[in-house]
Chain A
Amino acid sequence: MSDASSATARSTIGTRPGRLAEFWRYFRENRGAVIGLYVFAVFVFVAVFANLLAPYDPTEQFRAHTLQPPVWQEGGTWAFPLGTDAVGRDMLSRLLYGARFSFFVGIVVVVVAATGGILLGLIAGFAPRWLDTVIMRLMDIILAFPSLLLALVLVAILGPTLLNAMIAIALVLQPHYVRLTRASVLNERTKDYVTSARVVGAGTLRTMFVTVLPNCLAPIIVQAALSFSTAILDAAALGFLGMGAQPPTPEWGTMLADAREFVLRAWWVVTLPGLAILVTVLSINLMGDGLRDALDPKLKRS
């Protein structure tokens, strides 16, 4: 453990490929994780190039073709491979653009929640007892509220937009990062390499960010993968309840909310957006499981 840390403290360029290769070796053993990675890669590709892939504009309404079924069902045409919704918008185009929103939500929420959480966790781990207690009690308070309910109320206060939904979700996910970071900081601080770094004369900030933080990253990376999927699910749930992205935004949860009244008449407007959410979240969770197995030294088979 100590040689790894001094390596990161110096220059990482020389050692990175070795560590990455080792990580990949463990990751590859988990077939589910690799499948998850491929699906996730497709998802990212679709999110980035949605404007090139989609045959139509996601908000364009073809009034002559409302609720048209997918191509393989009677009445479907190749013009709308996955059918159209109640106002004649192309389902395929909307689904492709939806990936963009979900990806955006995931990235923003994870970056905001992880940055804030890691900072607070590091501070709590190094700060005097009273500050540590204050931070941890604050996190306990946030965790006392069911996350979706707190996010829902926050969005109601801030106003129902996708941006506010992301802020609210980031806020309710952040305590997990604080707890995780603090726990591993407290664990690492007792180790010899930290003491020797201090003896050599490293300041508090240097100890926090350069010596200790890199060694706490493994569980945080796993948490990041898991909260990426939670963020997508929660944003979709908020959209479904009408407190996330607003119509006509082609966000998957919002699309489901629009489709609710056609539950028994047009299965495709209901089934497809949900399937998109499920497949995306599932692929990320598969990857997360693989990451945990590959990064957690306790589970590594020697």
Chain B
Amino acid sequence: MIRYILSRLLTFVPTFVGVTLISFAFIRVLPGDPIIVMAGERGLSEERYQEYVVQFGFDQPIYVQFWDYLTGVLQGDLGTSFVTNRDVWTDFFTLFPATLELSLCAILFAILLGLPAGVIAAVYRGKFFDRALMSTALVGYSMPIFWWALLLIIVFSGNLGWTPVSGRIGLMYFFDDVTGLMLVDSLLSGQDGAFGSAVQHLILPSIVLGTIPLAVIARQTRSAMLEVLSEDYIRTARAKGLTPGRVNGIHALRNALIPVITVIGLSVGTLLAGAILTETIFSWPGIGKWMVDSIFRRDYPVVQGGLLLIALMVMIVNLTVDILYGLINPKIRKR
């Protein structure tokens, strides 16, 4: 097992350096001089220009620049934003809880609906329930989520007036940022209605972001269940006279969960990509919106640093899933 973990960690290192190299190269292959772009329409005097060249290290040879960047990354230094002059690393981790909260609610929504849907579809294989659920799942899987968001806004915010259109909480609530998670902070503040407002703001974005993972989980659960249900031990369990609920819900589901958990773990990338669209539409102040805004403002240090941190996050989660999978399933380790 130790050897398996070590070998997984070893492949992590070159990927990490590669990801860093790509986000490093990004600012240097851009058309146009980043310093001129940063200066914007006001322009720059020659001395100021030279000052910036030294400040950003553009006068150094490229490998020295990369080494500085790499060591900076390892020490949590990703430079400062061109626009706000704030530290990229700090900004990322200030905004991250918003994205985390949204993603957690989305994946929770997807699991709570997707798992039962998959199990029911598998148990009623080929019957009406199965067809209806799997057709719905395929529609969800094909959904352009930015359009889905607009539709939900039309119905639930426009026609019914149930949910707000943007932001994380109503404007009349103010409280301290303790955890950065609005649901927790609003409860801690003890203000009347704050928690309710936070929940209301979360509903639509979570549904939008959770739709594709929901479809993936439902489909994966169904196929994993079908595979398990045809095994001998299930027949034994049935022959022993256990109730169908116990056979399907406990004996079968337990083993079917292994691939499903992997899919859930690997959906982090999908969630972060979806967060870009969801956060933009709902003006959700998280990483996705921050990245899109920075791309449009040509705020290169932010784009560069954000890209790197997001990729690192995805890599770490994938690595963890891999190792956990090795722990649960000894067959994988033997390769």
Contact = CB atoms under 8 A, between A and B. Distances in A.
Contacts of B157: 264
A168 to B, nearest CB: 13
A92 B85 CA distance: 47
Given A157-B26, A264-B158, A270-B154, A141 B18 contact: yes
Given A140-B11, A274-B150, A281 B292 contact: no
Which of A145, A256, A271 has most chain B Cβ within 10 Å?
A145
Which of A138, A149, A150, A157 has most chain B Cβ within 10 Å?
A149
Nearest to A136: B11
Contact of B273 (A148, A263, A277, A278): A148
Interface stretch (B51-59, B117-125, B140-148, B232-240): B140-148
A140 B15 contact: yes
A138 B31 CA distance: 24
Interface stretch (A65-73, A189-197, A236-244): A236-244
Given A145-B310, A145-B314, A147-B273, A263 B150 contact: yes
Contacts of A159: 31
B269 interface: yes
Contacts of A282: 138-139, 142
B303 interface: yes
Interface string B306-317: 010011101100
A81 interface: no
Contact of B30 (A157, A241, A277, A278): A157
B150 A137 contact: no
B308 to A, nearest CB: 9
Contacts of A240: 146, 277
A102 B192 CA distance: 49
B153 interface: yes
Nearest to B212: A233
Contacts of B110: none
B323 interface: no
Contacts of A242: 296
B153 A263 contact: yes
Interface in A233-285: 233, 236-237, 240-243, 253, 256, 260, 263-264, 267, 270-271, 273-274, 277-278, 281-282, 285
A contact residues, range: 35 or more
A144 interface: yes
Which of B29, B141, B273 has most chain A Cβ within 10 Å?
B273
Contacts of A289: 138
B147 A277 contact: yes
B88 interface: no
A153 B11 contact: no
A124 interface: no
Contacts of A270: 147, 150-151, 154
Interface string B28-72: 011100000000000000000000000000000000000000000
A217 to B, nearest CB: 23
A229 interface: yes
B66 to A, nearest CB: 15
Contacts of B141: 285
A277 B146 CA distance: 11
B307 A145 contact: yes
B216 interface: no
A281 B270 contact: no
B241 interface: no
Contacts of B154: 263-264, 267, 270-271
Nearest to B18: A141
A241 B277 contact: yes
A256 B144 CA distance: 11
Nearest to B274: A148
A256 B153 CA distance: 14
Interface string A141-167: 101111111101100110100000000
B324 interface: no
A188 B148 CA distance: 43
Contacts of B30: 157
Nearest to B145: A237
A286 interface: yes
B144 A156 contact: no
B14 interface: yes
Which of A153, A271, A278 has most chain B Cβ within 10 Å?
A153
Given A153-B26, A153-B303, A147 B144 contact: no
B135 interface: yes
Given A152-B295, A153-B303, A263-B153, A278 B18 contact: no
A137 B22 CA distance: 13
Contacts of B19: 141, 144-145
Contact of A233 (B31, B144, B269): B144
A133 to B, nearest CB: 9
B36 to A, nearest CB: 16
B280 interface: yes
Contacts of B276: 146, 148-149, 152, 241
Given A157-B29, A157-B30, 9 more contacts: A140-B15, A144-B19, A144-B311, A145-B19, A146-B270, A156-B303, A263-B150, A273-B147, A285-B141
Interface of B: 11, 14-15, 18-19, 22, 26, 29-31, 135, 138-139, 141-144, 146-148, 150-151, 153-154, 157-158, 269-270, 272-274, 276-277, 280, 291-292, 295-296, 298, 303, 307, 310-312, 314-315, 318
Interface of A: 32, 137-138, 140-141, 143-150, 152-153, 156-157, 159, 229, 233, 236-237, 240-243, 253, 256, 260, 263-264, 267, 270-271, 273-274, 277-278, 281-282, 285-286, 289
